[in-house]
Chains A and B, each alone.
Chain A
Amino acid sequence: MVRDVQPSVPTGTTILALKYQDGIVMGGDRRATEGSQIASERIEKVYAADAHSVIAIAGTVGPCLELVKLFQTELEHYEKLEGEELSCEGKANKLAQMVREQFPLVFQGLVVVPIFSGYDIRRRQGRIFQYDITGGRYEETDFYAVGSGGKDARNTMKEHYQRGLSETDAINLVLAALFNAAEEDSGTGGPDPVRGIYPTMKLVREEGIVDVGEGQLAPMCQALIDVKKDRGYAL
């Protein structure tokens, strides 16, 4: 039964977060797969959770999207009832509880693994949290990536990361990491200038969440491709 269900469930793929001088860049590819089939090439995996935090999702799409919606509602509800935002730590812990509640579904093949990035107003810094399927919550110091292409993305960041990156350098590194993940992993979609498909990306900063639009990402992706071409490196 489980084997019957699993391949027909769309799953999300490479998401990552990386610290830079003003906060955090969070990005994700756009592909969802059902077994060996591509379910969607334009799915969104990076969502603003509230005014100072972003959640990215990997795993089974249905429960992941439900988790995002409920998490957004929970944060807004708390903020309105109490008259102030939950602390960054509080949001990360709340998400851990919600992931833990999903745990029984793992045995039916429905996995939910988010990355959470928030700007901690009290500490005046961006913070990255990764989760495991049991609701374990782990804070990362510099960057993290998860999903079927997560390891490739992590390796790219490990190679090129340095502290205090500028916004442009950070976005470029995230794009390169997603690019490499897409090359190695069939579940991760690469940038597709022909059909106009680019990764989604958000910046988590003190002033709030900034969406890095397609207009900004398209030329950066093109530049990345051109560099590879110049090296005589087949795409």
Chain B
Amino acid sequence: MMPYYVAPEQMMQDKAEYAKKGIAKGRSSIAMEYADGVLLIADNPNTSLYKISEVYDRIAFCGAGKYSEFESLRKAGIRHADLKGYMYSREDVSGRSLARAYSENLGGVFSQDIKPLEVELLVVEVGRVPTPNEMYRITFDGSIVADRGVAAIGGRADAIVRFFEEKERNTQASLAEAIALCREAFASANAQDVAVEALEVAVLERERSGRTFRRISNGALTGMDV
């Protein structure tokens, strides 16, 4: 039982501040449309603990904030997608539906539980020609934003978005150009260089059939001149 009365506004504000503080401590990730699909890139020096993940044929996930929390959300998302694809058909699994499910979940936790989830999520779906790509950003309180061109989450997300605002939007960049640009954005937001080995990179490739998700290893990155 709660011993004191706390105004709901105050409670929500406290929770939001708590969540923001948790997320601000972490590193950032970017999703960016490029010529052949969508690039996902995380400032992640840990090579075995991934932040980016395949979810379904044309859908990928990226989490920022508290690892344990976005990891369980990642798994729930994969379960959601696989179950839907198995029950109905692979075509019926959509990024939009997954983003809505995440929004509902995060929103519910934020308003009902004592501790909000300290995470930000990206759900990205690469379109089939001529359908455009979809990029959804879901924040700790369940707010959902559909971004175009570039989306950023994590501690330095604002600085990254500012970096891209100053650049001309180019969704037709090559993969190497897009990676180099994102690396520059991380460097500008962190105010220090980011080594290629500290990048986690994956793409959803539009022209592939079936599972379009592909990780790009550090070895392949060094060969790409980014």
Interface residues of A (CB under 8 A from B): 69-70, 73, 76-77, 80-81, 83
Contacts and interface: CB of A to CB of B under 8 A. Distances in A.
B86 interface: yes
A73 B82 contact: yes
B54 interface: yes
Given A69-B86, A73-B86, A76-B82, A81 B75 contact: yes
List of 8 A-B pairs having minimum Cβ-Cβ separation, nearest first: A77-B82, A73-B86, A80-B78, A80-B54, A81-B75, A81-B78, A73-B82, A83-B50
A80 B85 CA distance: 14
Given A70-B86, A80-B82, A83-B53, 16 more contacts: A69-B86, A73-B82, A73-B85, A73-B86, A76-B82, A76-B211, A77-B78, A77-B79, A77-B82, A80-B53, A80-B54, A80-B55, A80-B78, A81-B75, A81-B78, A83-B50
Contacts, number: 19
Nearest to A76: B82
19 contacts: A69-B86, A70-B86, A73-B82, A73-B85, A73-B86, A76-B82, A76-B211, A77-B78, A77-B79, A77-B82, A80-B53, A80-B54, A80-B55, A80-B78, A80-B82, A81-B75, A81-B78, A83-B50, A83-B53
B48 to A, nearest CB: 9
Contacts of B82: 73, 76-77, 80
Contacts of B50: 83
Interface residues of B, number: 11
- Give chain A's interface secondary structure class: helix
A107 B50 CA distance: 47
Contacts of B75: 81
Interface in B59-112: 75, 78-79, 82, 85-86
B200 to A, nearest CB: 11
A132 B55 CA distance: 34
Contacts of A81: 75, 78
A67 B165 CA distance: 51
A151 B78 CA distance: 42
Contacts of B79: 77
Nearest to B53: A80
Contacts of A69: 86
Contacts of B78: 77, 80-81
Contacts of A83: 50, 53
